[in-house]
């Protein structure tokens, strides 16, 4: 769900850059308050590498094929480090593989990165909610993984539908976008399950990794 160059009007691209700039500044501020930056940067760096490589793997989901994004997982594990991490990952994807345009980098970062922060806050609720720790962790990691992707897909669809240039056949494009949402719903379930697996594994093996 990376938007390529030439599909959005310039005002939208500039707004995307402004919002990304603001959210990056806010994330960096939050990171500054972190007592243990030295330990969290390797975590963020490795997940960024995984995020970057995941876009090269395409899974055929009829009617189209999808690339795993796991922004919810990154948000849950990294917290506010996730937003700059996703921004950097997207930058490299755009530059090396033309996956998403450079003019739409800001917009793509908001579409993929903002739900990651939402996933983080959702996952953090396990400290505040009552219930068995294990079940709560599994449920909230699924919610973070699937929910973040669903929010991203909705933002992607809404943005594209409202910004279809009048050159295109609006009806056909709208139908195609709504169809792709079906594919993204399936991907949301896959990513939710993947998040559950990984976070359960980390919780068992190295729970201090999830404290951030």
Partner 1 sequence: MIRFYFCLTLFTLLSVPEKVLAHGANIQYRQTSAIAIQAKYDDGVPMKNAQVVVYAPSDRATPWLTGVTDDLGNFSFVPDADPENAGNWDVKVRQAGHGSITSIPINQSKLTNVSQTQTASVNAGYSTVQKAIMAGAVGWGFIGTALFFARSKSSK
Task: Provide the binding-site residues for partner 1, judged by CB under 8 A.
Answer: 1, 3-7, 38-39, 41-43, 45-46, 48-49, 52-53, 56, 58, 64-65, 92, 96-99, 156-157, 160, 167-169, 172-173, 176-177, 179-180
Query: Is residue 67 within 8 Å of 52, Cβ to Cβ?
Result: no
Nearer to partner 1, 135 or 161 (CB): 161
How near is the Cβ of 169 to partner 1 at its closest, in Å? 6
Nearer to partner 1, 74 or 143 (CB): 74
Nearer to partner 1, 5 or 203 (CB): 5
How near is the Cβ of 103 to partner 1 at its closest, in Å? 12
Positive/negative CA dihedral, 27, 29, 35, 40: positive
How near is the Cβ of 122 to partner 1 at its closest, in Å? 26
Query: Is residue 54 within 8 Å of 2, Cβ to Cβ?
Result: no
DSSP for 28-82? HHHHHT-TTHHHHHHHHHHHHHHHHHHTT-EEEETTEEEE---HHHHHHHHGGGH
Positive/negative CA dihedral, 117, 120, 122, 127: negative
How near is the Cβ of 56 to partner 1 at its closest, in Å? 6
């Amino acid at each position: 769900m990376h938007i390529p160059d030439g599909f959005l009007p310039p005002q939208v691209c500039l707004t995307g850059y402004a919002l990304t700039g603001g959210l990056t500044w806010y994330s960096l501020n939050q990171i500054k308050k972190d007592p243990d930056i030295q330990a969290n940067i390797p975590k963020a760096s490795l997940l960024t590498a995984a995020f970057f490589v995941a876009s090269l793997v395409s899974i055929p989901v009829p009617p189209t094929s999808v690339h795993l994004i796991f922004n919810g997982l990154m948000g849950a594990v990294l917290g506010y480090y996730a937003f700059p991490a996703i921004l950097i990952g997207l930058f490299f994807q755009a530059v090396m593989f033309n996956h998403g345009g450079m003019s739409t980098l800001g917009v793509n970062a908001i579409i993929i990165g903002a739900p990651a922060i939402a996933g983080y806050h959702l996952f953090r609720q396990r400290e505040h909610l009552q219930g068995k720790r294990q079940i709560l962790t599994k449920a909230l990691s699924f919610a973070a993984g699937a929910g973040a992707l669903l929010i991203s897909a909705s933002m992607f669809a809404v943005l594209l539908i409202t910004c279809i240039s009048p050159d295109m056949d609006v009806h056909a494009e709208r139908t195609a976008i709504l169809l792709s949402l079906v594919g993204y719903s399936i991907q949301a379930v896959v990513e939710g399950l993947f998040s559950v697996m990984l976070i359960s594994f980390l919780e068992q093996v190295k729970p201090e990794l999830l404290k951030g």
